[in-house]
Amino acid sequence: MPDERDEVPGTGSSAVGDAGGGVSETEIAVHWQEEEYYEPPASFVAQANLTDPQVYERFSLEHFPDYYTEFADLLDWSKRWDTVLDSSNPPFWRWFVGGELNASYNCIDRHLEQAKNKTALYFVPEPEDEPIEAITYQELFVRVNEFAAYLRDGIGMQRGDRVTVHMPMVSQLAVTMLACARLGVIHSVVFGGFSARACADRIVDSGSSVLITMDGYWRDGKWIDHKEKADQAVEMARQDGRAISSVLIWRRNRGSYGSSFGLVEGRDVVVDDVIGQYRGQRVEPEAMRSEDTLFLMYTSGSTGKPKAAQHSTGGYLSYVTAMSKLILDIKPTDVYWCMADIGWITGHSFIVYGPLALGASSIIYEGSPTYPDPGRPWRLAERLDVNIFHTSPTAIRALRKVGAEEPTKYHYNFKLMVTVGEPIEPDVWRWYYNVVGRRNAAVVDTWWQTENGGFLCSTVPALKPMKPGSAGPGVPGIHPVIYDEDGNEVPAGTGKGGNICIRNPWPGSMLGIWGDPDRYVATYYARYCKDPGSKAWRDWPYFAGDGAMLAKDGYFRILGRIDDVINVAGHRLGTKEIEAAALKVAGVAEAAVVAAHDEVKGVVPEVFVTLLPGVVPSEEFGTQVVDSVVREIGPIARPRKVWLVPDLPKTRSGKIMRRVLASISNRGDIGDVTSLANPEIVEQIQGMVQS
Ligand code: WT7
């Protein structure tokens, strides 16, 4: 399958809500047993960045918000801030106000004096016979400056403009982001595997006039012609009222254009045809205000329309730099590989901004983790002597499934390993720790979200033991709490689930939802705010939308999403978006999407559809629904199965009972359905699905 980037590491989980497995949080809690601790290896502790147990005391709420100056002090500011936190307009937090800095300067320029010859980025092409490219900090400086000069002088881009970037995993993507940051241009990177439709929606919402893309790339041994999506996205955006004036196309292979879709006169420019005109040019980094927007990152919510988390320059960069140092334990001498895609927040924070701000060497791998064989990641780790490795439960499950013994065949030495994106099953965790990490690496399970910029819960690797399946306590500075439906605090150790919230603001938190302040307040802060008129930050807990359980030891176990969002391959997809795509198929009357459990991917969408009266059911509908979902959203959302059913189970008020459908798909307990408007349909569907 040509563009199957749904296999991308990043990757499935258990939703707890309506679309989920039909099990309540409390029931899950009852079935789970406490796991035993694993101590971090002594060799790790001996070299760790953070070994001071006092850190939790220093970062107690009593010292809020001043403790966060420790994070901001990791950066170079052209002007120091005067206010650590401006919380005068809750919940719109502004960090390090009065301060000025530039993200590109912090990730590149400031390392030149000491480390210009050090590798900043390794680009690892998917084809193994193509050489790996090591880009030094000096070389990155040159490329970023030249591209920034072109954006500014050739295209006329200015601070505050938005640009949509739809690119694969290549070094030019990082160069593009850093060039934008240098100019104060707000980048909105759209995951390369997303469809033209998804790209167009993001162009329109962000108000971009420029699209940056690439001709093509390698994925699973196949050349993907990517430029086609740019042509389609520009046309779709035009129909929706947004004109793209320039499409800038990087070439995957310098000097040879790899797309069968030609250049549109007056609109399209091949970057490496024109960049020569800017050779040797330097662009002074713009002094950005701390609270200026660095980038937009789209994510799914419970309504169909994707929303962009708007991340700040000073707060965000301070936060990801601190997390990279304290939790990922990155040092300038480390070689760090995060397998996520830069098109997700994990890649922004932990391939590009965090590791580069610390002057480390970060790897950008173009392709699929199992190409050409399941040994690829471990071979790459050996070859580049990677010592910090970052991936997701889906990728771990997939790698275990196809090659449980593969890691033992290669010589690499991880000091730390990361898991992110969804809850990890304790068994899968143990394989990661024992086989991939050879019991010689600390493992951190980092719980956070697109909106947060960086980690919320994780153990500090040298200070706290690991517990499989649990993310751990709040990271230093983060004070999580679990509330029940009525806003009462659920104490530790009850075995009861609830809604995890964060008591305090933090610098990595988004500035807002781009263009939609009301949705920002409604989605994240209205739920547990008792007094909307209050100006005190304490009255505005952040509502994450995940179910969680707090054990006696203060470790949080995340249960999954509680809204109509399913976590596929570690990334949130709105069930309504998928349903909307299904409804585009002529003849389809209703659609319901549920999260079906999958051994490797964790969770995949399954679709139940009914047809309009008089329409004759046929296999075709299944194919058409799948095609429509892939076209509208991308292969990541590809349904595993489409069921044509005579009717959908509904409440008397007409609400589709996705929970019941999910239980059928997952062969779970359906519970009492007698109060439904049409209980008889449940058995019929069960017969179809479970036979
Ligand atoms: C949702 C956020 C930010 C990372 C990539 C996903 C789930 C994330 C964990 C974890 C259990 C996790 C949550 C969260 N999640 N990390 N370590 N353990 N669940 O970003 O697309 O914004 O999704 O991913 O459900 O709300 P995202």
Taking the CA of residue 451 as reference, the ligand 1 atom at the shortest distance is: 22
Taking the CA of residue 545 as reference, the ligand 1 atom at the shortest distance is: 26
Q: What is the pLDDT of residue 54?
A: 97
Q: What is the pLDDT of residue 95?
A: 98
The residue whose CA has the least distance to atom 7 of ligand 1 is 422
CA of 560 from ligand 1 middle (Å) equals 8
| Residue 385 near residue 412, CB atoms below 8 Å | yes
Q: What is the pLDDT of residue 23?
A: 37
Q: What is the pLDDT of residue 303?
A: 62
| Chain segment 127-149, per-residue pLDDT in tens | 999 999 999 999 999 999 999 99
| Chain segment 606-654, per-residue pLDDT in tens | 999 999 888 999 999 999 999 999 999 999 999 999 999 999 998 776 7
Look up residue 533 and give its two tokens. 């008129």
Q: What is the pLDDT of residue 555?
A: 98
Is the confidence at residue 59, as pLDDT, over 50? yes
CA of 448 from ligand 1 middle (Å) equals 5
| Chain segment 67-115, per-residue pLDDT in tens | 999 999 999 999 999 999 999 999 999 999 999 999 999 999 999 999 9
Tokens 């049409």 found at: 678
CA of 572 from ligand 1 middle (Å) equals 8
**Pocket (CB within 6 angstroms of ligand 1):** 13, 299, 345-346, 420-423, 445-450, 471, 544-546, 558, 560-561, 567, 570-572
| Chain segment 589-612, per-residue pLDDT in tens | 889 999 999 988 888 999 999 998
Mutate to test the pocket of ligand 1, among 298, 392, 448 (most ligand atoms within 8 A of CB): 448
| Chain segment 284-296, per-residue pLDDT in tens | 999 999 999 999 9
CA of 376 from ligand 1 middle (Å) equals 26
**pTM for this entry:** 0.90
Distance CA 68, CA 149 (A): 34
Burial 317-343 (b: 16+ CB within 10 A, else e): bbbbbbbbbbbbbbbeebbbbbbbbbb
Q: Select the highest-mean-pLDDT range: 1-15, 288-302, 429-443.
A: 429-443
In this prediction, residue 571 has a pLDDT band, given cuts at 50, 70 and 90, of confident
Q: Following CA atoms 605, 606, 612, 617 in sequence, which dihedral angle do they give, to the nearest 10 degrees?
A: 140
| Residue 100 near residue 79, CB atoms below 8 Å | yes
Task: Tell which residue, 371, 389, 383, has the closest CA to residue 442.
Answer: 389
CA of 51 from ligand 1 middle (Å) equals 27
Residue 346 CB coordination number (10 Å):
27
Q: Following CA atoms 631, 347, 379, 108 in sequence, which dihedral angle do they give, to the nearest 10 degrees?
A: 130
The residues with which 317 forms a beta bridge, in sequence order, are none
CA of 352 from ligand 1 middle (Å) equals 19
The residue whose CA has the least distance to atom 24 of ligand 1 is 421
| Residue 349 near residue 323, CB atoms below 8 Å | yes
| Chain segment 375-414, per-residue pLDDT in tens | 999 999 999 999 999 999 989 988 998 999 999 999 999 9
| Residue 169 near residue 194, CB atoms below 8 Å | no
Mutate to test the pocket of ligand 1, among 349, 422, 499, 556 (most ligand atoms within 8 A of CB): 422
| Chain segment 329-375, per-residue pLDDT in tens | 999 999 999 999 999 999 999 999 999 999 999 999 999 999 999 99
| Chain segment 482-509, per-residue pLDDT in tens | 999 999 999 999 988 899 999 999 999 9
